[in-house]
Structure 1
Amino acid sequence: MTNPRETRFRAGESALLFVDMQKIFCTPGLDPAHPELGPDHYYHRRLRDMVIPNQSRLLARARARGIQVMHTIIEALTEDCRDVSLDHRLSNLMIPKGHPMAGPIDELAPIANEIVLPKTSSGVFNSTNIDYVLRNLGVRTLIVAGVVTDQCVDMAVRDAADRGYLVAVPGDACATYTQDRHDGALRAYGGYCWVTDTDTILSRMEAR
């Protein structure tokens, strides 16, 4: 192991966190902030051809190994979105409580007893109680995958690192709107995490 953040992921102290892998952001034409993104756009092709298949593999292995699985989604706590952050209001990211497309995509649908945390800001550590929950679960190592690489994934990685978690990011299980943005983001926050790939993460997942 040459990266000081490189590690194995043991049941009982590890969690896999999916960031914003919800229907409204992963279905062409539904994203309120980017309605122009069609099925042939780079972002949706990457999701379809690489990211979702890799995330599905991570999900199956985590469940099989007893590693905690968590989902965070952008969704208000209220039907009129009065609790949404200023930045999300300005960015037109107003997803009402109970919106039919707010939930995780079918490929990653939570099973009974998996934790789903609705958030109203880019940073899951800022607008949910995820830190409290992770500490109650005994989690020390966190695998972060999702969208978009240079925004909400970025926030999750940096905030988790600042709070003392050992973070890993499989770059081929994340996406943003261009390859340059994706690559630049991984370079920018690579100092806060172990940037690796899905196959390597899978090989490091261990049962209790």
Structure 2
Amino acid sequence: MPRTITLPCRPEPLDVVIEETALVIVDMQNAYLSKGGYIDLVGFDVSGAAPVIAETARIADACRAAGIPVVYLQNGFSPDQREAPPTAPVWHKSNALKFMRANDAYAGKLITHGTWDYDIVPELTPHAGDIVVPKARYSGFAGTALDQVLAARRIRTLLVCGVATNVCVESTIRDAYHREFFPVMLADATMAAGPGAQAATEFNVETFFGWVSGGAELRAALRANQG
């Protein structure tokens, strides 16, 4: 028998079938969360990272215990930047690529495969059985195998957390919605880049693209199912 929980959400509760649900952890890398990482270097505030990391770890552990697949998205480029030629918009819009071009000392060091900046933060190192999906665009669905990973497991609901709320998290949620998934943003396990951006994305998600909940609400709903 499928196991169903009712997850408290905005704008209304959502019935979630556990066997049809996956957790998607977006770009929880040194680049976006650590002092000296790319986001910090280009001037965004990362002082709020610690509670977001801690909450994401609690959510991931609860999902693993419930049998919910944990999927990590990991954003970055090959050392030769083959994914981002000058003919691509990302060459012009990626702050990391622009910073590296302007600062020779950082060339090849930011969100580049094999570097510290690209690594997932140690507190969230993937466990055996977790899935890691590399990407080179904001959305986890753009040019990746994420669709196939989810379809193979017959997933319909996506629990989404990570960074940055208003960039890669929101882009992934929007694309999930357009692919007929039910996306739930776990807001206390996200962090925005830029003032006012967190509230704007939460408004967009709960009004247009999905649902907004939190880690404590998810864990309570999962515990109630176990009882």
Q: Normalising by the residue count of structure 1, what TM-score does the alignment of the two structures yield?
A: 0.86
Alpha-carbon distance in structure 1 between the residues aligned to 2:42 and 2:82: 26
- 1:7 and 2:15 equivalent? yes
For the 8 Å contact 1:119–1:128, the answer to whether it is kept is: yes
For the 8 Å contact 2:27–2:162, the answer to whether it is kept is: yes
Which runs of 5 or more residues in structure 2 are unaligned? 1-7, 98-110
For the 8 Å contact 1:124–1:156, the answer to whether it is kept is: yes
Identity rate of aligned residues, in percent? 26
Specify the code of the residue in structure 2 equivalent to 1:79. P
> Secondary structure of the equivalent of 1:44?
coil
Structure 2 equivalent of residue 103 of structure 1: 119
Structure 1, residues 86-115: CA drift from partner, whole Å, max 9, x if none?
333222435332223312111110012311
CA 1:5–1:156 in structure 2 vs 1: closer, same or farther (change >3 Å)? farther
Structure 2 equivalent of residue 26 of structure 1: 33
**Any residues of structure 2 matched to 1:109-128 within 5 Å, and which?**
109-128=125-144
**Any residues of structure 2 matched to 1:2-151 within 5 Å, and which?**
3=11, 6-10=14-18, 12-31=19-38, 34-37=40-43, 43-48=45-50, 50-76=51-77, 78-84=78-84, 86-90=88-92, 91-94=94-97, 95-151=111-167
> Secondary structure of the equivalent of 1:124?
coil
For the 8 Å contact 2:29–2:74, the answer to whether it is kept is: yes
Aligned residues: 199
Specify the code of the residue in structure 1 equivalent to 2:176. A
> Secondary structure of the equivalent of 1:125?
coil
Structure 1 equivalent of residue 101 of structure 2: none
Specify the code of the residue in structure 2 equivalent to 1:47. A
Give 1:72 deviation, angstroms. Answer: 0.4
> Rg larger in 1 or in 2?
2
Alpha-carbon distance in structure 1 between the residues aligned to 2:171 and 2:42: 25
Specify the code of the residue in structure 2 equivalent to 1:57. R
Alpha-carbon distance in structure 1 between the residues aligned to 2:217 and 2:60: 14
Alpha-carbon distance in structure 2 between the residues aligned to 1:146 and 1:93: 18
Give 1:4 deviation, angstroms. Answer: 5.7
Alpha-carbon distance in structure 2 between the residues aligned to 1:74 and 1:5: 31
Q: Normalising by the residue count of structure 2, what TM-score does the alignment of the two structures yield?
A: 0.79
Detail structure 1 runs of 4+ shifted over 3 Å in the superposition. Answer: 1-5
Alpha-carbon distance in structure 2 between the residues aligned to 1:67 and 1:23: 25
